[in-house]
Amino acid sequence: MTGLHFWQRLLLLRWHRQLKLFTKASSINCLVQKSYLSTSVSLLQQHQQLPFDLNDFPVERIRNFSIIAHVDHGKSTLADRLLEITGTIPKGDNNQVLDRLPVERERGITVKAQTASLIYKYKDQEYLLNLIDTPGHVDFHYEVSRSLAACHGVILLVDANQGVQAQTVANFYLAFEAELTIIPVINKIDLKNAQPDVVADQIHNLFDIDKKDILKISAKQGIGIEEVLAAVIERIPCPKHDRKKPLKAFVFDSWYDRYKGVVAHLAIYDGFMKTGDRITCASNGKTYELIEVGVMYPTQVPSGFLYAGQVGYAMMNMRNTNEAKIGDTFYHENIPVEALPGFKDATPMVFAGMFPSEQSEFPQMRSAIEKLTLNDRSVQIKIDNSPALGQGYRLGFLGLLHMDVFNQRLQQEFDASVIVTAPNVAFKVKIIGEKNIKHYGSNEITVLNPCLMPIPEIITEYREPMVDATVITPASYMASITQLCLDHRGRIKDQSYIDDTRVLIQVKFPLAEILVDFFDELKSLSSGYASFDYQDAGYEISDLVKLDFTLNGREVEELTMICHVSRARETARRVCEKLKNTIPRQQFVITVQGKVNQKVIAREDIKAYRKDVTAKCYGGDITRKMKLLKNQAEGKKKLRLIGNVEIPKDAFIKILKR
């Protein structure tokens, strides 16, 4: 370095010093990375390893149970406390652990049934408890029925403040018909206005349950939770299955994972299954290799094995949830067994069109709907096309809340902006004429889209869907609620007092009458105290008509609807008035008409913009002014013939929202 200039030596010295610092920092960084990696691996191993061995739990020490209740009676809170007490999750500020969807947390409702495996030590014995948290709203009745198929008992949860509600009654009979053990539990006894004794009387009078069998708890405060776990172990029977028999696994739920494919929820009836086994589906005969087997603790944790009586999940390289058919049976390859009896598929009750806000967004909407329906098997989907809204889909839902939740999940999870048309139900018609029957393929047609209703001349019979509804209300509101039921074409079947203050009313409704505003009117009349539940009751013959709407003689297919004869004129007037108030004025008159069988039953006119063509005629002959006005009228008449009336999308949405 002696031959170098001063500035060269200084540059080399600085470079040498930076090299030392870099080497030291690199070594520290390597140590940090190594420590981080080792910590991550240990955490991953800790996460992937169960703190117990499933082989240690014979069927005698397994209990499979579910929690069923009305909306907001505390199912998810009770599930949180059970998970905490059994050590499945650490104690702390846990809130709706099993409600994993954003829409569930926002609305405070359970949409998708979730399972969790718990370990509880009772009388010096450890028990494996498989808990299934179910939805409480009537629209998700299908989720409850699927969950109960994997259970041997249920916790019937009732709010100490609100008492027995309509969905409580429906869930009780659902469990009773399945011959499941029922543990009645009164929750929220810590509330100021709680009346546990009054609610206990209601449970006794309605369900004939002994009061001494009713447990009283506060899930939020953790009061009485130990007694609930003890009752689950003592009262609910163990699964009557055998490990030594050939494998027989029952699929009661499935969902789609974007990275791992289809995940099937299984209840093992007989035998056992392990990772690497080849199992066959009874319905389609396809064989799959198990790539992962485990339990929910409370999230997916691989266990390698699942034994008779246990509930868990399995991944087997399925790419379509249709292959994991709900109610299907799986068995080991080349060792066939008798398939277990399945249960009914979900029957859509409400149908609506779904279209993108802009047609350029249709591919995005299609992808979002396809992905979401993989995790919601109860949605029925068909391609639809609208002259005003373009290409879209017609979807079938279990109810209005189900439709609303589906739309919200599209926006939250896939950022899809869609337009949902007015909901309608599926009608059935019988037609005559060999040519017509050959064209439609049958003499009985199910009409999902009102635009596709055949002409009245070939229809011999109309049938509409009916529901058996249960309304529970304070006795002081009984008269007004009875009148509300009659106004919606309901037939009162029975009325009975639950206790001195509450009445149970059983009504038969046309489904179309309770779709739109019945529930809101019921809550308004009863100051929020009445509850409502319904079940499918088949079809009945009815007097229906197809109601069309036209703008200047041109039919607007999106507004076509089917309604009862007694509702036709009232509905036509209401829609025509909304069209008049929402469609912007044009340079010509727009005539809005509601028609039944080409007969006009309602009409509104949207006035044209009118320019004063005589404003610049200062005096002069009156014939000059009349000539100018006549020319203007002729021009507007010509405009009306060739003018195209377009309904703005925002106005169209207002009409559809009633």
Query: Is there a binding annotation on residue 188?
Result: yes
22 has a pLDDT exceeding 70: no
pLDDT digits (tens, 9 = 90+) for 238-273: 988 888 899 998 887 777 777 777 888 888 988 999
Confidence of residue 220 (pLDDT cuts 50, 70, 90): confident
**Nearest 5°: phi and psi at 328?**
-80, 165
Mean pLDDT of 519-541: 83
Helix, strand, coil shares of the chain as percentages rounded to 5?
Answer: 35, 30, 35
Query: Is there a binding annotation on residue 58?
Result: no
Q: Which residue has the higher pLDDT, 144 or 237?
A: 237
DSSP output for 170-224: HHHHHHHHTT-EEEEEEE-TTSTT--HHHHHHHHHHHH---GGG-EE-BTTTTBT
Query: Is there a binding annotation on residue 75?
Result: yes
Q: Write the DSSP symbol of residue 452.
A: G
pLDDT digits (tens, 9 = 90+) for 77-124: 888 888 888 888 888 766 666 655 655 555 555 556 678 888 999 888
Mean pLDDT of 454-471: 90
Query: Is there a binding annotation on residue 399?
Result: no
326 has a pLDDT exceeding 80: no
Query: Is there a binding annotation on residue 635?
Result: no
Query: Is there a binding annotation on residue 277?
Result: no
Residue in the block written with tokens 């008035």: 577
Most confidently predicted of 220-234, 245-259, 429-443: 220-234
Closest CA to 289 of 269, 311, 265, 314: 314
Query: Is there a binding annotation on residue 112?
Result: no
pLDDT digits (tens, 9 = 90+) for 154-210: 999 999 988 888 878 878 888 888 888 999 999 999 988 889 999 999 999 888 899
362 has a pLDDT exceeding 60: yes
Query: Is there a binding annotation on residue 72?
Result: yes
Query: Is there a binding annotation on residue 73?
Result: yes
28 has a pLDDT exceeding 50: no
Round the average pLDDT of the chain to a whole number and report it. 79
Query: Is there a binding annotation on residue 439?
Result: no
Confidence of residue 613 (pLDDT cuts 50, 70, 90): low
Residue type, position 78, single letter: L
> What's the rounded Cα separation, in Å, for the pair 406 and 337?
38
Structure confidence at residue 44 (pLDDT): 35
In the structure encoding, which two tokens stand for residue 657, read together?
């929202």
Task: Report the 3 state secondary structure along 584-632.
Answer: CCCCCCEEEEEEECCEEEEEEEECCCCCCCCCCCCCCCHHHHHHHHHHH
441 has a pLDDT exceeding 50: yes
Query: Is there a binding annotation on residue 543?
Result: no
Structure confidence at residue 38 (pLDDT): 34
Confidence of residue 215 (pLDDT cuts 50, 70, 90): very high
End-to-end CA distance of the chain: 90
pLDDT digits (tens, 9 = 90+) for 30-61: 333 333 333 333 333 334 577 788 888 888 99
Mean pLDDT of 524-536: 81
Q: Which residues pair with 279 in a beta bridge?
A: 288, 332
Share of the chain above pLDDT 70, in %: 79
Query: Is there a binding annotation on residue 76?
Result: yes
Structure confidence at residue 32 (pLDDT): 35
250 CB-near residues (< 8 Å, 6+ apart): 149, 150, 266, 267, 268, 269, 327, 328, 329, 340
Query: Is there a binding annotation on residue 494?
Result: no
Closest CA to 594 of 571, 567, 572: 572
pLDDT digits (tens, 9 = 90+) for 273-308: 999 999 998 877 888 999 999 998 888 888 888 998
347 has a pLDDT exceeding 80: no
Cα angle 489-492-494, degrees, rounded to a multiple of 5: 165
Structure confidence at residue 137 (pLDDT): 55
pLDDT digits (tens, 9 = 90+) for 373-401: 766 767 888 888 776 677 888 888 877 77
Structure confidence at residue 358 (pLDDT): 80
pLDDT digits (tens, 9 = 90+) for 475-491: 888 999 999 999 999 99
Query: Is there a binding annotation on residue 605?
Result: no
Structure confidence at residue 342 (pLDDT): 60
Structure confidence at residue 99 (pLDDT): 57
Query: Is there a binding annotation on residue 190?
Result: yes
Mean pLDDT of 514-521: 78
Q: Which residue has the higher pLDDT, 313 or 113?
A: 313
Mean pLDDT of 144-152: 76
Structure confidence at residue 102 (pLDDT): 56
Share of the chain above pLDDT 90, in %: 19
Model confidence, pTM = 0.69
Structure confidence at residue 35 (pLDDT): 36
Residue in the block written with tokens 């377009």: 646
Mean pLDDT of 434-441: 85
Structure confidence at residue 483 (pLDDT): 92
